[in-house]
Amino acid sequence: MVGNVPNLLTLTRILLLPFFAATLIYKEYDYALMLFIVASITDILDGLIARIKNQITYFGTILDPVADKFFIITSFVLMSNFSLIPKWLTVIVISKDIIVITGCLIVYIVTNKLVIEPSFLGKASSTSQFIMIGLVLLLLNLGDGIIVPYFLFVLVAVLTSAAGIDYVYKGLKVANSESTE
């Protein structure tokens, strides 16, 4: 069901995105941090409620990662545009997502099945990206010239790249197994 509480929480996260983007554009970092926290809470609650109340839907399994990607990509593009994070990191994050989405489409065309199973590396990658966004916002609000340590950018890049490689490998396995049947 589209209108259950977990799906409504996910839709709320998507609807918060333009306001979050505006706060970044206008350098209202305190509001950006508040909206980020609210969005993060809705992300945690939608999955928790869906599992506890057995309200997991196909719509929700597609919509939740889409909402996450919208938030991550918007954050990385805007933050790199304002030199809050390195542009090369944004290129890695977006490239990985484009490769994965393209791979899913190809696998769907080859197999007529769309099975999106998040991997451990995929979850670790997304988690590291969200933590990076939250950390940048927190440090912006603390002021005093505190910056994110460079090795954390590298860590996010490595996790993101590893997740991308893992998804490509798994997609090729699926496509190869289907083409031999």
Tens of pLDDT, residue by residue over 117-167, are 778 999 999 999 999 999 999 999 998 778 889 999 999 999 999 999 998
Q: What is the DSSP letter of 2?
A: T
> Helices 58-81 and 120-142, interaxial angle, to 10°?
40
Q: Say how far apart CA 17 and CA 2 lie, in whole Å.
A: 20
Q: Say how far apart CA 13 and CA 64 lie, in whole Å.
A: 9
Per-residue pLDDT, 98: 93
User: By the 8 A CB rule, do 160 and 93 touch?
Assistant: yes
Q: Which band of pLDDT confidence, cut at 50, 70 and 90, is reported for residue 181? A: low
The CATH number of the domain where 83 resides is what? Answer: 1.20.120.1760
Q: Which domain holds residue 164?
A: 5-179
Residues comprising the chain, all counted: 181
Total number of domains constituting the chain: 1
Amino acid at 166: D
Q: Among 27-31, 33-37, 174-178, which stretch is predicted with the lowest mean pLDDT?
A: 174-178
Q: What is the pTM (predicted TM-score) of this model? A: 0.90
